[in-house]
A and B are shown apart, each in its own frame.
Chain A
Amino acid sequence: MKLVHKLNSAVLNNRFLQDVEKQMLLAHIATLPPSNQDQLALVLPQKPKLLKVYYNLVSRVKDVGYLSGDQFEKTFDETLGEGEAEKDESLNEGN
Chain B
Amino acid sequence: MEGFENPESENIAERVALKYPKFKAAIYAMTAALMLGGEPSRDASIETGERTETLDTIAQKADPHFREVAQSIVGEIKNFSSEQPTNNTYIHRLNYVSVGSLKAYEEQSKGELGDEGENMLVGSDSTSRLYGGSYVDGTNENKIMIDGLSSNFYISAANGELNEGGKITMRGEGESKVEAIQNALENGINFLGTKVETATHSNKKTAMSPSLEVDESLNEVVTTRGSEFVKHYKVTAVHGGDGRPFTVSVDMIVGVPEKK
Contacts and interface: CB of A to CB of B under 8 A. Distances in A.
26 contacts: A31-B40, A32-B37, A37-B33, A39-B29, A40-B29, A43-B29, A44-B30, A47-B26, A50-B23, A50-B26, A53-B30, A54-B33, A57-B30, A57-B34, A61-B45, A66-B45, A66-B47, A66-B81, A69-B8, A72-B16, A72-B46, A73-B19, A76-B20, A80-B20, A85-B20, A89-B22
A50 B24 CA distance: 11
B208 to A, nearest CB: 27
Interface residues of B, number: 42
Interface of B is mostly: helix
Interface of A: 28, 31-33, 35-37, 39-40, 42-44, 47, 50, 53-54, 57-58, 61-62, 64-69, 71-73, 76, 80, 84-85, 88-89, 91
Contact of A66 (B23, B30, B33, B52): B52
Nearest to A68: B49
Interface of chain A, main secondary structure: helix
A80 B32 CA distance: 20
Contacts of B45: 61, 64-67
B29 A72 contact: no
Nearest to A31: B39
Most buried by B among A35, A36, A71, A91: A36
